[in-house]
Amino acid sequence: MENIQAFLDYLQFEKNYSKHTIQSYKTDLLQFYQFVQDTYQCNLETLHYNQIRTYMVTLANQQVSNRSINRKLSAFKTFYKFLLKIEVIHENPLAKHQSLKIPKRVNIPFSIEEINQVIENISKREEKGFSLLRDKIVILLLYSTGIRRDELINLQINDIDFIQKTIRVVGKRNKERIIPLLDRLAEELQLYIKERIQKETPLKNLLITDKGKKIYGTFVYRVINYYFSAVTTKVKKSPHILRHAFATHLVNEGAEINAVKELLGHASLASTQVYVNSNLKRIKEMYNQAHPRSKKKRDL
């Protein structure tokens, strides 16, 4: 147990992992530790791969998805790498482990028409007030900047620079990035902040609930799901799909992928590549239309 706590401290203070990630790792490791205690009456530091594999099989028998099992094993791998680093163990039992195969998950972004329809529906509502204005800002910020849900939640009022037309975002591992602010979004934000500062709350967060509390993950998800359920039949309606739409629409309009990478705050280009792949059909159509050797050209 001491090594688990030392590992969590290492993630927090040396690696700057997010609170959410650290909590997930803690939950996974404690569940794993309990299984090992009940099954083998030993500690995590003395396990062999076959014993860990038994835990994987147990999870699979409990109908835990391969994706979730892979996530847990990723946490365990990182834990054992840490134990190697501090010389508690001399061999990582998961060093040669291969992730379980999972079906590729395709997230279909909202269309420009769907997003415009949601904004229009909010603007047309007869009832006005703080809640409606805030919900509109939630949607506009996610789509116009491509920020993550947690980044949105933690935005401070002073992160917005109306003179430079920029917004400062603190991303994963406390990495900061500056994102340009569209003129129309800046105007909407100024209207919102006028209402926001009238709320009696010591919080400096930009986005708050009707009761003046900090918004939270489920709150943001409910906002997106509520408004987009009225305009789309897409199965997944979440903050991440708006981020996905932001990147996909930029790529569709010809934005350089490296620029999109910087806006999204991705550490590597591989993470951004998915948005190019989602545009592959359009690229193929353009290629067939434009290339001198395409059949369509030869038929002319």
Q: Which residues are catalytic?
A: 148, 172, 240, 243, 266, 275
How many of the other CB atoms lie within 10 Å of CB of 75? 19
What distance separates the 2 farthest-apart alpha carbons in the chain?
76
Tell me the three state secondary structure of residue 134.
helix
Strands 176-180 and 160-161: unpaired
For residues 257 and 251, is the Cβ–Cβ distance under 8 A? yes
Distance, CA of 114 to CA of 116 (rounded, Å) = 5
For residues 265 and 172, is the Cβ–Cβ distance under 8 A? yes
Cite the beta strand spans of the chain per DSSP E. 160-161, 166-170, 176-180
